[in-house]
Amino acid sequence: MSLIFYSANLFFLEVFVNPLAFVHIPKTAGTSFRFGADAFFGEERVCRDYGSQSVETSEIVKKYIFQEKDHWKFWTVFKAEGYQFLTGHFHATRYATIFGVRSMVTFVRNPIQRIVSEYKHHVRNYGYEGTFKSYYREKANINRQLRMMANIPWPAFGLVGITERYEESLALLNSKYSLQIPFLNENLGRSVMSEAYELEPDEEAELSRLNAGEIRFYEQVCSQLDWRCRLSSVGKKYVGGAVTRQDANGLYGWAIAEEDDDPVVVQVSVGGEVVGEVTATGYRPNLQEKGAGRGGFVGFSVNTERYPKNVSLECTVAATGQPLVNSPWELLETA
């Protein structure tokens, strides 16, 4: 824990907080959040990773991440030099094992709207001369948000906010971490973020097909944010968790309480009828590596032998009814 100071209004606010890492997905209001973090923490306490060639990237990132490729040395120097916040256009996996996903945050945006915004940004600021269709068909621009969060248990993130609900998401983040990052509107291509770009029907259909995985991801994030808000309004705690896979023996997943160390009890239902409960205490090495909490002892399994195929199993938090990500899960034939 480290002492930090808030100086935006010329006074000092004592707050204790672990360092946070912000995955800045382009065109998701990340610049507004980054500037807000600069104002709260102080620019000297904000470390930046915007690529090895970017003038914005901090020297300790260039030296230890890109040149020496020594993540542990970076982490040691990061703390020693008093940094409290990391931001940048990096994939979450780059820093997950040193910060831990519970100390990582990001914002995601409606995938189609985000692509239009980024295209216009490239035309406006970088002289991009290709058509919109040529831009969104480039491999690098397909499912970009999803790829930046790939191989990460994102429901265990400190917070995955929504650009279209930026002020609400920021309030949740500030409340969770006892921060006062101010609400700013910076680097916006339009004055009103909530106004949707209009597309030709064929473009929208193709974009939806190309980015189907990311659209599903975005919908899941929206649903989980709804639950986070609902639980917060009644003084109950959010649980990060997901149903992850099925084999011939059962259905598997994980769940972890956000603010305490007790194991989560998962309720299993079929057609609205409760058929059992399981406690999430199984060991999951990947979740331990990514710093999800409880040393990775957050897994659960459900024996599915007695259920017919094509039935849907619902896995929810027993204490609140909050559904886990990927629930309900339709049982399929397995080899």
Higher pLDDT, 198 or 255: 255
When pLDDT is cut at 50, 70 and 90, the band that residue 138 belongs to is very high
Return the DSSP state at 196. Answer: P
Predicted local confidence at residue 271, as pLDDT? 87
Mention the CATH class of domain 2-233. Answer: alpha beta
Residues with Cβ within 8 Å of residue 142, at least 6 apart in sequence: 136, 210, 211
Q: How far is it, in rounded angstroms, from Cα 225 to Cα 6?
A: 27
* CB-side neighbour CA atoms (13 Å) of 259: 11
pLDDT of 2 strictly over 50? no
Give the predicted TM-score (pTM) of the model.
0.90
What is the structure's pLDDT at 18?
Answer: 85
> Residue 81 has what pLDDT?
97
Cα distance between residue 199 and residue 159, in whole Å: 30
DSSP secondary structure, 54-115, as one string: -TTS-HHHIIIIIIS--HHHHHHHHHHTT--EEEES--THHHHHHH-GGGEEEEE--HHHHH
Q: Torsions phi, psi of 162, nearest 5?
A: -120, 130
Q: What is the tens place of the pLDDT at every residue in 256-302?
A: 999 889 999 999 999 889 999 999 999 999 999 999 999 999 999 99
Distances (CA, A) of 134 to 55, 129, 200: 29, 10, 15
Mean per-residue pLDDT for 129-149? 96
Structure tokens at 176: 């969770």
The closest alpha carbon to 256, from 328, 332, 325, belongs to 325
pLDDT at position 67 = 98
User: Would you state the pLDDT for residue 8?
Assistant: 39
Mean pLDDT of all residues in the chain? Answer: 91
Q: What is the pLDDT of residues 199-233, one digit of tens each?
A: 999 999 999 999 999 999 999 999 999 999 999 99
Q: Where are the domains of the chain?
A: 2-233, 239-330
For the chain, what is the largest distance between any 2 Cα atoms, rounded to a whole number of angstroms? 65
Cβ contacts of residue 287 below 8 Å, gap of 6+?
153, 156, 254, 256, 293, 296, 298, 299
Q: What pLDDT sits at residue 17? A: 60
For residue 193, the model assigns a pLDDT of 58
Tell me the pLDDT tens digit for each residue of 89-98.
999 999 999 9
pLDDT at 5 over 50: no
For residue 331, the model assigns a pLDDT of 92
**Better pLDDT: 121 or 335:** 121
Residues 26, 93: contact at Cβ < 8 Å?
no
Among residues 294, 165, 321, 295, the alpha carbon closest in space to that of 234 is found at 321
Please state the φ and ψ torsions of residue 33, each to the nearest 5 degrees. Answer: -65, -40
Q: 10: pLDDT confidence band, cut at 50, 70 and 90?
A: very low
Measure the CA–CA gap between 30 and 219, rounded to whole angstroms.
Answer: 19
Q: What is the mean pLDDT of residues 136-164?
A: 97
Distance of CA 110 to the CA centre of its chain: 14
Query: Can you tell me the distance from the alpha carbon of 262 to that of 260, in angstroms, rounded to the nearest whole number?
Result: 6
According to CATH, what is the number of the domain 239-330?
Answer: 2.60.40
Residues 6+ apart with CB under 8 A from 227: 238, 322, 323
